[in-house]
């Protein structure tokens, strides 16, 4: 398991290649890449700043991945989440999951992303033409995460 919270950008190809490198058991690698949009809730976005609580955020991400490993037969997982100021089109988050088969990889990847959106302590502030605003949690994110409840 690789968990990183960082300001620096990342190379998606290199990260996913490293995730599966040398593991001949891997028959599937599912991934999700999140990007900064230029529009949110009807307002144009010129910049977004992501904040986190160091240590607590990484632990929350580790717990999410551990839960995914307990639910699905996956080999490895990667979560990279950027913090700091970001512009539209910048990469925000990368989640990658390896397994023998696609079903487990897809499900675990989606689960990790859904829980990351609702359980990991990140805070987003967007800059719009009307000034800065904090982004509230979305009902759609809570609904997506709720479907995984046992």
Let me know: does 92 contact 41? Beta carbons within 8 Å: no
Q: At what angle do helices 102-119 and 139-146 cross, to 10 degrees?
A: 140
Backbone angles phi, psi at 125, to 5 degrees: -125, 125
Contact 112, 79 (CB under 8 A): yes
d(CA 16, CA 10): 11
| Band of pLDDT at residue 143, cut at 50, 70 and 90 | confident
For position 42, what pLDDT does the model report?
A: 81
Contact 81, 10 (CB under 8 A): no
Mean pLDDT value across residues 126-136: 88
CATH annotation of 2-146: 3.90.1170.40
pLDDT on residue 85: 98
Res 109: pLDDT: 98
Q: What is the pLDDT of residue 40?
A: 85
Q: What residue segments make up the domains of the chain, in order of their start?
A: 2-146
Q: In which region does residue 118 sit, left (phi positive, over 0), alpha (psi from -120 to 50) or beta (all else)?
A: alpha
148 three-state secondary structure: coil
pLDDT single digits (tens) 70-101: 999 999 999 999 999 999 999 999 999 999 99
Query: DSSP letters along 123-142, please?
Result: EEEEEETTEEEEPPPPHHHH
pLDDT in tens, 95-126: 999 999 999 999 999 999 999 999 999 999 99
């Amino acid at each position: 398991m690789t968990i990183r919270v960082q300001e620096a950008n990342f190379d998606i190809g290199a990260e996913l290649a490293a995730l599966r490198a040398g593991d001949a058991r891997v028959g599937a690698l599912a991934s999700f890449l999140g990007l900064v949009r230029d529009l949110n809730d009807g307002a144009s976005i010129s910049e977004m700043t992501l904040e986190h609580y160091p240590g607590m955020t990484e632990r929350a991400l580790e717990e999410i991945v551990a839960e995914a490993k307990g639910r699905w037969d996956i080999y490895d997982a990667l979560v990279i989440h950027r913090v700091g100021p970001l512009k539209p089109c910048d990469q925000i988050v990368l989640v990658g999951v390896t397994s023998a088969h696609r079903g487990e990889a897809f499900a675990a990847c989606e689960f990790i992303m859904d829980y990351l959106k609702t359980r990991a302590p990140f805070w987003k502030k967007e800059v719009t033409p009307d000034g800065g605003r904090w982004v509230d949690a979305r009902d759609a994110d809570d609904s997506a995460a709720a479907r995984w409840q046992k």
